[in-house]
Amino acid sequence: MQQLTSFATDYTRYVLNGGAKFYAWMGSLTVLIVGMMYVFYLQNTDGLIVTGMTSQISDGLYLANLVFLVGVAAGAVTIVFPAYVYHHEGMHKVAVLGEMLAISAVIMVMVFVFAHMGRPDRLWHMIPPWGIYSFSSMLGWDVLVLNGYLILNFICGFYYLWCKYTGNPINKKWFIPLVYVAIAWALSIHTVTAFLMANNPARPMWFHSMMPIRFIATAFAAGPALIILIFLVIRKNTKFWVDDSAIKLLTTIVQFCLGIAIFLTLSEVVVELYARTEHANGLYYLMFGLHGLTGLVPWFWSSLVLMVGAFVMFFMPTFRNDFNKLQIPCVMAFAGIWIEKGMGLIVPGYIPSPIGEVTEYHPSFVEWLMVLGIWAFGFFILTILLKGAIGIMLGDIKYGGQAVAAK
C-alpha cells in the first residue's frame, strides 16, 4: 500500500511540473474543455434540438467521432503486436505509450457516447441486463467490448510502469497472455463498431459484409499515423528517444493499410454506381449530389484527395525518410480518414431516408464545440499519461528516489 501511495504521489508531482510550453498547451486544452462543459449544459437542458441532427438524420458528428476514435484505439495494437509477438526492439521500448493512447482514445469514445445519448439520465440504458441498449443493442455490445479493452490496456500499461517504478521483474506468466488477449480484443472493438452500422438493412450504404474489413484497414492507418506524430513530438520535446526503426515500421503499416482502405472505398464506388440502382443513391449523393443538394460533395472529394495524396507521398523517399516531412502525409492520412468516417460514411447513410426523403445535415456550433472539447479532454488525459510514462521509463520517477522535475 505504501508503494502504491508513493507511485500515485510521485506520478502526480512529476506530471504537474513543466515549463511554459507545457502549461500553455494544457491551458489551451482546458479552455476548450470548459467550452465543452457549457454546450453539455445546453444540450442537457434544451435537448438535442440544439444540434444539427433531425428525425431524418439522427447520427452526426458525435457518432462519426465515436467510430473514428474506436479505430484510433484499435490502431494502438500496431505497436503492441510487433513488440510482443515479433519482439521488435524499437517497438518494445515504446509499447506502453501505445497502451496509454488506447486508454485515452477509449475514454474519448465513452464521452462521445454520453454526448450522443443527449442526457445523462439515459445512461442507465447501457447497463446490462436492465438497459434497453445493453444486450439487445449493438451499441450496448460496442460499449461492453470497449470497456473490456480499456481495462486490459489499463492493467497491462500500468502494471508495466509499476514494475519499472519499483524495479520488480514483470511476471510474464500472466502478463504476456493478457497482452495477447488485448491484441485480439483490439480487433473485436472495431469489428463490433462496424456491426453497429452494417446490421441496418434499411441503410444500403452500410449494409454489406465488407464493413468490418474496411473499418480495420482505416484503423490501422489512422491510428499509427497519429502515433507517428506523437512520437515525433516526444523526440523533439523530451529526453526520451523513439528509435527510427519504430517510426519506419509504423510508416510501412500506415502506407499499406491506407492503400487497402482506398482500394475498398473505390471498389464500393464501382460496385454501387455501375448498376446505379436506388440503393446507390446515398453514395451518389455523397459524390455528386442529389436533387440539387450537394452539401457533402466537397467532404467526399477532399477526403479522397487527402488519402490518395498521402498514399503517394508515403512511397516517395523525400517524405518517407525525412521525419520532418513525414508529418505531412501522416496529417493528410489522419484528416482524410476522419472525414471519411464522418461526412463520408455516417451521414450519407441517412441520405436519402428509407422512404426517399433527402435532408441535408449541417452540424451546429454546439456540435463543433462539443467535438473540439472532447478531443481536448482526450489530449489532456493523453498528455498526463504519456508524460508520467516517459518519466518512469527515463528513471525520473522511481520508488525510493526523489522525482526529477519534468521539463
Q: Note the maximum CA span of the chain.
A: 71
2-394: CATH class? mainly alpha
Q: What are phi and psi of 52, to 5 degrees?
A: -85, 0
Distance CA 199, CA 153 (A): 28
- Mean pLDDT of the 142-166 span: 91
Confidence of residue 128 (pLDDT cuts 50, 70, 90): low
192 pLDDT exceeds 60? yes
Of all residues in the chain, the percent with pLDDT exceeding 90 is: 48
Local confidence band at 62 (pLDDT 50, 70, 90 cut-offs):
very high
Q: How far apart are CA 76 and CA 223, in angstroms?
A: 6
pLDDT per position as a tens digit, 89-120 = 889 889 999 999 999 999 999 999 888 877 77
Which residue's C-alpha cell is 488477449? 181
Sole residue written with cell 482546458 = 30
Contact by Cβ (8 Å): 196, 139: yes
Cell matching residue 109: 469514445
Collapsed DSSP state (helix, strand, coil) of residue 293: strand
Residues 6+ apart with CB under 8 A from 349: 59, 197, 200, 203, 205, 206, 282
Q: How far apart are CA 148 and CA 140, in angstroms?
A: 13
How far is C-alpha 294 from the chain's CA centre?
28
Q: How far apart (Å, rounded) are the C-alpha atoms in residues 12 and 128?
A: 35
Question: Are the C-beta atoms of residues 208 and 199 closer than 8 Å to each other?
Answer: no
Bridge partners of 293?
Answer: 290
- Triad 44, 144, 98: Cα angle to 5°: 95
The 10 Å CB-count burial string (b at 16+, else e) for 218-240 is bbbbbbbbbbbebbbebbeebeb
Transcribe 91-136 into DSSP letters: HHHHHHHHHHHHHHHHHHHHHHHHHHH-SGGGGGGGSTTTSTTSTT
| Spatial separation of the C-alpha atoms in residues 160 and 137, rounded to whole Å | 35
pLDDT at 305: 95
Residue with cell 462539443: 370
Distance in angstroms (rounded) separating the CA atoms of residues 47 and 299 = 27
User: Which of these ranges, 118-122, 130-134, 326-330, has the smallest mean pLDDT?
Assistant: 130-134
Considering only 17-21, 199-203, 364-368, 399-403, which range has the smallest mean pLDDT? 399-403
Confidence check: pLDDT of 208 > 90: no
- Cα angle 211, 287, 342 (rounded to 5 degrees) comes to 50
- Residue (of 335, 239, 143) closest to 327 by Cα position: 335
Q: Show me where the domains of the chain are located.
A: 2-394
Spatial contact of 94 and 82, defined as CB atoms under 8 Å apart? no
Q: How far apart are CA 69 and CA 54, in angstroms?
A: 24
Place of cell 528513471: 395
pLDDT at 125 over 80: no
pLDDT score of 130 more than 70 = no
pLDDT band at 382 (very low <50, low <70, confident <90, very high): very high
Residue where the block lists cell 510508416: 251
> Distance between CA atoms of 252 and 246, rounded to whole angstroms?
10
